[in-house]
Amino acid sequence: MPELPEVETTRRGIAPHLIGRRVSEVRLRRPNLRWPIPTEIAQLLPGERITAVQRRAKYLLVETAIGSAMWHLGMSGSLRILPQDTPPRLHDHVDWLLDSGQMLRFTDPRRFGSLLWQPVGTIHGLLAKLGPEPLSDDFSGDYLWHASRGRTAPIKQFLMDQHIVVGVGNIYVAEALFAAGIHPERDAGSVSRVRYARLAIEVKRILEYAITRGGTTLRDFLSADGEPGYFEQELFVYGRAGEPCKVCGTTIRVMQLGQRSTFYCPKCQR
């Protein structure tokens, strides 16, 4: 699944082509993706000018004066800016035609993505109880330390709880825990304030760097310009089970935590 850096890469790719443009037509080739597409998308969006393109967690919010369209890329979704005469292919489900002569096209072979609507002045239920953004000032070592008191869940699962912090998915949690030297099975409540300070720094550093590198190359992800991400070759533990640790040479291990593959170095992380 595209994680925060992939979604942010997409946002930065499409925003310059959308902001200030008016949606002239919405073409829906199916009535639903993961969920039904709200009627507001086709009925209210045409004629509206796009004022901003924001990201909240892994959702992209395309804002207008009357509300925001909420995109989620799901497992295999992608958004592209294309000429309006580009013929649709099998999995091209949604087109927004713009007054620039371009269009925004959503492609999703697995249809786990979504297109929802948030009226102006409201917060969609999917966004209402989310934790802070990991790249914001609200996310810090002190915040994590306070939030983790009394928690016995493994720290990896704690960090992947969207009520604690949003968008730090499996790949980047694994890399941040390695960089901070923390074993993924350690109880969240047993990690010291000092170690949480370092962990918060590493989460921010790794996410920011991954964004500059276009995200992580996954089988289904392509960035907004059609190019794959370039962060994969720089991973330290994720996907490297059986290979030597780049720091100490110990064999990287993998285990299951919360039904997710969890990669770690048994020597560097404790």
| 12-50 confidence digits (pLDDT tens) | 999 999 999 999 999 999 999 999 999 999 999 999 999
Q: What distance in Å separates the CA atoms of residue 252 and residue 139, rounded to the nearest whole number?
A: 29
Q: How many helices (H) and strands (E) does the chain have?
A: 6, 10
8 Å CB contact between 42 and 31: no
Active-site residue list:
2-3, 58, 260
Q: Which amino acid is at 196?
A: Y
Distance, CA of 264 to CA of 245 (rounded, Å): 9
Q: What is the pLDDT of residue 257?
A: 93
pLDDT at 234: 81
Q: Give pLDDT, residue 232.
A: 61
Over the chain (270 residues), what is each successive 10-residue block's mean pLDDT?
84 95 98 97 97 97 98 92 95 98 96 96 96 97 98 97 93 96 98 98 94 60 54 83 98 94 97
The confidence score (pLDDT) of residue 76 equals 87
Q: Give the C-alpha separation, 81 to 259, whole Å.
A: 36
pLDDT tens digits, one per residue of 94-105: 999 999 999 999
In this predicted structure, what is the pLDDT of residue 230?
46
Q: Label residue 112 exposed, middle or buried (CB < 10 Å: 0-12, 13-18, 19+).
A: middle
What separation in angstroms does the CA of 199 have from each of 133, 156, 173, 194, 252? 15, 11, 10, 9, 20
pTM: 0.87
Binding site per annotation, positions: 91, 110, 151
Annotated binding-site positions for DNA:
91, 110, 151
If we measure between CA atoms, which residue out of 117, 148, 90 comes closest to residue 26? 117
- So what's the pLDDT on residue 72? 96
Structural contact between residues 157 and 258, judged by C-beta atoms closer than 8 angstroms: yes
The domain spans of the chain are: 4-119, 141-264
Pairwise CA distance, residues 189 & 21, whole Å? 48
**Helical (H) or strand (E) element with 28:** strand 23-28
242 torsion bin: left (phi>0), alpha (psi -120 to 50), beta (else)? left
CATH no., domain 4-119: 3.20.190.10
Fold match flag (4-119 vs 141-264): no
Spatial separation of the C-alpha atoms in residues 252 and 243, rounded to whole Å: 6
Q: What is the CATH number of domain 141-264?
A: 1.10.8.50
